[in-house]
Amino acid sequence: MLTSVSPVSPSTTAAGLSAGPVQLPRLDVAADLLALLHDTATEPRPDTQLEALTLAVAADLPVLLWGEPGIGKTAALTQLAAALDLPLTTVIASVHEPSDFSGLPVVGDDPAVQGVPMAPPDWAVRLVRAGRGLLFLDELSTAPPAVQAALLRLVLERRVGALRLPAGVRIVAAANPRSSAADGWELSPPLANRFVHLQWTYDHDVVVRGLGGTWPRASLPWLDPDRLTGAVTLARRAVCGLLAARPGLVHQLPSNEARRGGAWPSPRSWEMTLRLLAFATAAGTSREVLSMLVRGTVGDGPGLELLASMDRMDLPDPEVLLADPAAADLPERGDLRQAVLDGVVEAVRNRPEKFRWDAAWAVLVRALETGAPDLVVVPASTLAALRQPDWDVPASIELLAGAVSLSRRADRAAARIGAVAGSGR
């Protein structure tokens, strides 16, 4: 029969003689083991999710992490607070009443003169006294509509009752999708439109290495002081340029209830996007992180349109290419190169002149010599259709004839193969 043996340690008498083993409290030993398990390290490791989160926190924007239960949203926030040396205050939104966020009325000596002030809860008072901190609103998707309404001023204006949270307080929330939330609710559109929405998933390698004792290190992005002015200029130019060309994107309230509880474009969320774009530019953030942030603020469609328009902002001017075709420096990426060639042809269409038409053919030849030949097919066909009866065909067009003919033969062959496959033969 096995019996449990308590951990022991030798004790000594006043004379220094051993007095035999003394039993240690079992919970003390358990505490030692727990301490060893909690003793983990961090390391600098690329993590796009964590980088996007810290950039939004640096930009002082409320962030909402969406993810399935148990994938580490709360642990990430705990580690972030520790890394940034911010006191963490966790508030479970679903277990609070609306008055816990809007304030409790306190009747004074003379309400008719002094009014009835709204007293803030204790956690808000602690944050004000500290002057800084990370406010973590957990389980946001299980908060009923009345509580969500009370959270509006807290998230946007940082007000709790009559108290205003200091500038050193950052707000991050977490939510489970309605399908996996305990008695979940969809987020109300006014509340959802106040957040940067980040989809939080787990990375297998990060989890394995973290369970081994080493987790990625969270740190605020380093903003280059020399880039600040240029970053603001670029952000304003990108957002304003897109909205000027696409006025319908300024405000689009989704018709679907579930999508209303996520990221969608409004003047408020575009202002947030502009701020994130400026911070990302000043920090030299990767394209992947920037994509997560802008799509998490205005939605996938408008966010991708913004990124595409930013790519076109750096494209060479068609007039510059027409002025000196031999020195044309065309983008390497196929979609950007196609956009440049289309722009050159469109410039000739807007001002059709013989020398400009000849220069456009020279640009297409340059594109053929430095990139994929199929990219010149459509621009060449369109440019050929712009020829005036008295314009001579330039010699350079012969260099393009082979590529165009080969591409058309390939298209016809693909069409025949598709027809045969569709007939079942």
N-to-C CA span, the chain = 77
> Phi, psi at residue 105, to the nearest 5°?
-65, 130
Give the pLDDT means over successive 10-residue stretches in the chain (425 positions): 49 54 76 89 85 94 91 84 89 84 71 68 90 92 87 89 89 82 76 94 86 84 91 93 88 89 95 97 94 96 92 84 88 85 90 92 88 84 87 75 52 50 53
Cα 268 to Cα 152, 298, 389, distances in angstroms: 13, 9, 54
CA dihedral sign, ordered 293, 299, 303, 304? positive
165 Cβ contact partners less than 8 Å away, ≥ 6 residues apart: 124, 127, 128, 135, 154, 158, 159
Residue with tokens 């314009």: 391
**pTM for this model (two decimals):** 0.73
Cα 264 to Cα 71, 103, 168, 201, 366, distances in angstroms: 25, 30, 27, 21, 42
> What pLDDT, on the 0 to 100 scale, is given for residue 131?
92
> What pLDDT, on the 0 to 100 scale, is given for residue 351?
92
CB 288 within 8 A of CB 254: no
Say how far apart CA 91 and CA 97 lie, in whole Å.
12
Which CATH architecture is the domain 45-106+117-216 placed in? 3-Layer(aba) Sandwich (3.40)
Concatenate the DSSP letters of all residues of 183-194 into one string: T--PPPHHHHTT
> What pLDDT, on the 0 to 100 scale, is given for residue 224?
92
Q: Packing angle between helix 287-298 and helix 48-58, nearest 10 degrees?
A: 60
pLDDT tens column, 58-100: 999 999 999 888 888 888 888 888 888 899 999 998 888 888 8
Concatenate the DSSP letters of all residues of 324-360 into one string: -GGG----SSHHHHHHHHHHHHHHHHHS--HHHHHHH
CB 186 within 8 A of CB 178: yes
Closest CA to 337 of 370, 359, 310: 370
Say how far apart CA 125 and CA 165 lie, in whole Å.
9
Which two tokens mark 7?
Answer: 């951990």
Angle at 177 between CA 171 and CA 180, to 5 degrees: 125
Closest CA to 236 of 306, 296, 289, 288: 306
Q: Packing angle between helix 397-423 and helix 377-385, nearest 10 degrees?
A: 120
> What pLDDT, on the 0 to 100 scale, is given for residue 173?
93
Q: DSSP 3-state assignment of 87?
A: coil
186 Cβ contact partners less than 8 Å away, ≥ 6 residues apart: 141, 178, 257, 258, 260, 261
**The residue count for the chain:** 425
Q: In sequence order, which ranges of 39-121 are alpha helices (DSSP H)?
A: 48-58, 73-83, 99-102, 111-114
> Phi, psi at residue 285, to the nearest 5°?
-70, 150
* Structural domain spans, the chain: 45-106+117-216, 225-313, 318-423
Strands 163-164 and 118-119 come out as: unpaired
Say how far apart CA 141 and CA 148 lie, in whole Å.
9
| Cα-to-chain-centroid distance, residue 249 | 19
- Residue burial 381-405, b: 16+ Cβ < 10 Å; e: rest: ebbeeeeeeeeeebebbeebeebbe
Which two tokens mark 77?
Answer: 């926030």
Say how far apart CA 173 and CA 196 lie, in whole Å.
10
CB 243 within 8 A of CB 301: no
pLDDT tens column, 140-151: 888 888 888 889
